[in-house]
Amino acid sequence: MASLTIRKLDENVKTFLRLRSARNRRSVEEEVRVILGELIEGREEPLTPFTAPPAASATPIPQRTGALPEAGVTLIIGGGIAAYKSLDLIRRLKERRIEVRCVLTKAAQQFVTPLAVSALSHERVYTDLFDPQSEFDAGHIRLARECDLIVVAPATADLMAKMANGHADDLASAILLATNRKVLLAPAMNPLMWNNAATRRNVAQLKRDGVVLIGPNSGEMAEAGEAGIGRMSEAIEIATAAERLLRPPVPRPLAGKRVLITAGPTHEPIDPVRYIANRSSGKQGFAIAAAAQAAGAEVILVSGPVDLGDPRGVTVKHVESARQMLEQVQAALPADIAIFAAAVADWRVANEGEQKLKKSSAGMPPLQLVENPDILATISKLTDKRPPLVIGFAAETEHLIDNAKSKLARKGCDWIVANDVSPATGVMGGDRNTVHLISRKNDEKDGEIAVDSWPAMTKEQVAIELVAHVAKSVTGKSREPAS
Ligand code: C5P
């Protein structure tokens, strides 16, 4: 079987391989193996121009299908008896969908073998700074940057001293000096070493440099009869700390709040087959429901007929007419926040035909219209179950701010989100929106009216911004408990 020397390949092929392997977070040799495999299976990527990987500092954690985004860790295993726990750590990280690439210091190889580490990580193991295979494509730089976090476990006193002083005379210390990723250290050493003034200085320096430490714990040492602070944290503790750094908890400012939202148009029947409708797509209301849900709220969305899928984790009540919408809104109370984004038809047909209306020589039958209930005004004026924060929308085609201000007073709501829906704006049915938030200063009933104009944004961004304002306003305010 012929062997291939990557160094002897054409410059442009080498560049292609370097970039592609960096993008896919593989070594160059592994990338070549994958390309050959794909060629054989007939699934090759064309050797056409490709986009270079983004700058290391901007590299996002790759999103894969599955419950959690996959993340990558470079795990540096230092030379100490606790190195055996790092084998369990690899397993614990992998079960959290974290890819692990391992580096073993020279001393670590006295405690665990590269073979065992490679078998558990399913990756090749890196041991030498001057390894011609990996250094051909600047291995220590790739190991330092093609990950989302560097974990050092066990972090020996020597490794910490090197790191605190910026040494780079082996692969592990070179990676730690070359990285711009967060570093998590799990120190493990004899209690006297941990308490030594030099180690204390190094620990203080590393903390100042932004390095995160987990442990050490106190307990018995491997050395007979010795105990104290110096035992490496358990693998599960280190994996949990790593995961917290990789996937910080998402803030949920609306946790415990119930949010009621209306969205979409209403259909007002003329007869069993015809109706009066408007051009509302429901996109803005649905985006608000999704943003409120993501902020931790319990969300009830009452929607008119729309062509959108139900947002995940939201209770959706589908209705047709304004009267059905009001019924569902009333049934959903009490709520902490109510946001009325629906484009409710102002009128309905009074004499709805039971059968399809027929053409006749007498011409078109007269359509008698009656006013629909105003859901926003009805809920705003409730005395018992009025949500503490009621928000209306004002879709206008002229005198936007003036109309919205008078709507705020007339409807009795707390805020109005006003937007210009003139056909030229493309807001109706489109993906972007330019809104103005109209409220009373300090949320006082007779307070001066404030207008906060936001730049043009996607409807999702408007939703996130609105939910952030809501969260700021309602913190601490709660609805009356349900009777
Ligand atoms: O009066 P106008 O329809 O412009 O008011 C818009 C605001 O009032 C929106 O928040 C809309 O959801 C709400 N509205 C309502 N019931 C109606 C009419 C409008 O809730 N019948």
Quote the pLDDT of residue 40: 67
Q: What is the pLDDT of residues 208-225, one digit of tens each?
A: 999 999 999 998 877 767
H or E element that contains 299: strand 298-303
| Position 157 in a domain | yes
> Is the CB of 262 within 6 Å of ligand 1?
yes
Tokens at 4, concatenated: 């291939």
> Is the CB of 393 within 6 Å of ligand 1?
yes
> Is the CB of 379 within 6 Å of ligand 1?
no
Distance CA 19, CA 7 (A): 15
Q: What is the pLDDT of residues 359-416, one digit of tens each?
A: 887 777 788 999 999 999 999 999 999 999 999 999 888 898 999 999 999 999 999 9
> Is the CB of 392 within 6 Å of ligand 1?
yes
- Best residue among 280, 393, 466 to mutate for probing ligand 1's pocket (most ligand atoms within 8 Å of CB) is 393
Quote the pLDDT of residue 41: 65
Tell me if residue 278 is catalytic. Answer: yes
Q: How far is the CA of 376 from the centre of ligand 1 (A)?
A: 6
222 and 263: one domain? no
Marked catalytic residue, from 190, 217, 278, 403: 278
Quote the pLDDT of residue 10: 75
Q: How far is the CA of 419 from the centre of ligand 1 (A)?
A: 13
> Which protein residue has the closest C-alpha to ligand 1 atom 4?
394
Query: CB–CB of 68/97 below 8 Å?
Result: yes
pLDDT at 460 over 90: yes
Distance CA 319, CA 267 (A): 9
Quote the pLDDT of residue 62: 33
Q: How far is the CA of 326 from the centre of ligand 1 (A)?
A: 11
214 and 267: one domain? no
Q: Distance between terminal CA atoms of the chain?
A: 80
| Sheet containing 435-440: order of strands | 315-318, 298-303, 258-263, 337-340, 389-396, 415-420, 435-440, 449-453
336 and 228: one domain? no
149 and 198: one domain? yes
241 and 277: one domain? no
214 and 303: one domain? no
Quote the pLDDT of residue 53: 31
Average the pLDDT over 15-40 and give the result.
74
pLDDT at 482 over 60: no
338 and 433: one domain? yes
Q: How far is the CA of 408 from the centre of ligand 1 (A)?
A: 11
| Position 3 in a domain | no
Quote the pLDDT of residue 61: 32
Quote the pLDDT of residue 398: 87
| Position 289 in a domain | yes
Mean pLDDT rounded to a whole number for the chain: 87
Quote the pLDDT of residue 289: 98
Backbone angles phi, psi at 319, to 5 degrees: -130, 170
| Position 215 in a domain | yes
- Bigger pLDDT: 188 vs 430: 188
pLDDT at 332 over 80: yes
> Is the CB of 416 within 6 Å of ligand 1?
no
Q: How far is the CA of 455 from the centre of ligand 1 (A)?
A: 24
Percent of the chain scored above 70 by pLDDT? 87
| Position 55 in a domain | no
> Is the CB of 340 within 6 Å of ligand 1?
yes
Confidence of residue 302 (pLDDT cuts 50, 70, 90): very high
148-157, 223-232, 329-338: segment of lowest average pLDDT: 223-232
Supply the range of the domain harboring residue 30. Answer: 9-39
Overall domain count for the chain: 3
Report the CATH number at residue 166.
3.40.50.1950
| Position 195 in a domain | yes
223 and 298: one domain? no
391 and 435: one domain? yes
